[in-house]
Amino acid sequence: MAIHVRLTLLFTALAIGLFLFLGWAVDAAATTIDVDDKLHGETVTTLGIVSVQVTNQGGGPDRALAFDTTLAGTADPDLEDPWTTGNLIGSVLGRSIIIAENEIDAQPDGLVDSPDDEAGGGILSLVFSVPVVAFGLDLLDIDLGERTGTLSFWQGGSQVASFSFNDLMARDGSVVFGNDSANHILPFVAGQEINAASFDRVDVAFRNSGAIDNLFFEVPEPESAALFAVAVLALATRRRARR
């Protein structure tokens, strides 16, 4: 095969790979993760490709816990269903993720005896091991006075977007915060409301108490990533052929 034909084929592969790479946000795999396999009071650190990191701002431990919202008589009745406010009224959500107010384990059995969400607030950082192109979640028990909390998106250590909980209500009229509230937050998409091609971390900052559940996200399809790698290899081969 003539050298110019090989170069044309390689350049075509590169163009196709780049096109698919730039189209990741459309051709993406969607996943929803919950913590229903965790026990009430169990520490939450890793959920598939997501690691959960905590910054406690109320004096408690930097620790995330699973909280069973179907229980009664817990340390936080506001996180017990039924939900009376929000777009998830009537939903049975099971276990959610909270910032621990304490880590007392008198048994000891590895479970916090009386899980309670941190009244002083804090940040749940959801760190992804791969690029993410869309993200949504459920927010629980965000009272009216706690709407200055934020949902922020990061890429490579730089913040690329931030939205207050007030913004979430303005964005979607079905979102209503208040005591005993549960709301599904529609996904934010990279390249649309988020001015970046992807992101690798989402911070949920609570001004006081609250919980999250049902983390929805989309990652690029492996096929697109593989084609992009082939395209890069093609470009490198083309450069060697020129030399």
Rounded to whole angstroms, how far apart are CA atoms 45 and 51? 6
Mean pLDDT, residues 143-166 taken together: 96
Residue 3: enclosing H or E segment and its boundaries?
helix 3-22
Considering just the CA atoms, what is the radius of gyration of the chain in Å? 22
Write the single-letter amino acid at 242: R
Rounded to whole angstroms, how far apart are CA atoms 40 and 56? 20
Lowest mean pLDDT segment, chosen from 14-18, 98-102, 132-136, 198-202: 14-18
List, in sequence order, every residue forming a beta bridge with 164; answer none if it has no partner: 150
Residue 72 CB burial class (10 angstroms; 0-12, 13-18, ≥19): exposed
Where are the domains positioned within the chain? Answer: 1-24+221-243, 29-220
According to the model, what pLDDT value does residue 228 have? 47
Residue 145 CB burial class (10 angstroms; 0-12, 13-18, ≥19): exposed
Q: Which fold has domain 29-220?
A: Jelly Rolls (2.60.120)
Could you report the per-residue pLDDT of 196-231, keeping only the tens digit for each?
Answer: 999 999 999 999 999 999 999 999 876 445 544 554
Q: Is the pLDDT of residue 25 over 50?
A: no
Cβ proximity of 183 and 176 under 8 Å: yes
Rounded to whole angstroms, how far apart are CA atoms 227 and 208? 45
Q: CA dist 7 to 96, 135, 138, 230, Å?
A: 54, 40, 50, 14
List, in sequence order, every residue forming a beta bridge with 203; answer none if it has no partner: 125, 152
Q: Is the pLDDT of residue 107 over 50?
A: yes
Rounded to whole angstroms, how far apart are CA atoms 112 and 102? 8
Q: Closest by alpha carbon to 160, among 124, 132, 139?
A: 132
Residue predicted with more confidence, 241 or 51: 51
What tokens appear for 219 in the block? 């990652």
Three-state secondary structure along 138-207?
A: EEECCCHHHCCCEEEEEECCEEEEEEEHHHHHHHCCCCCCCCCEEEEEEEEEECCCECCCCEEEEEEEEC
According to the model, what pLDDT value does residue 221 have? 74
Task: Kindly state the DSSP code that residue 120 receives in the 8-state scheme.
Answer: T
Q: Is the pLDDT of residue 8 over 70?
A: no
Mean pLDDT, residues 87-96 taken together: 97
Instruction: List, in order, residues 6 or more apart from 45 with CB less than 8 Å away.
Output: 51, 52, 64
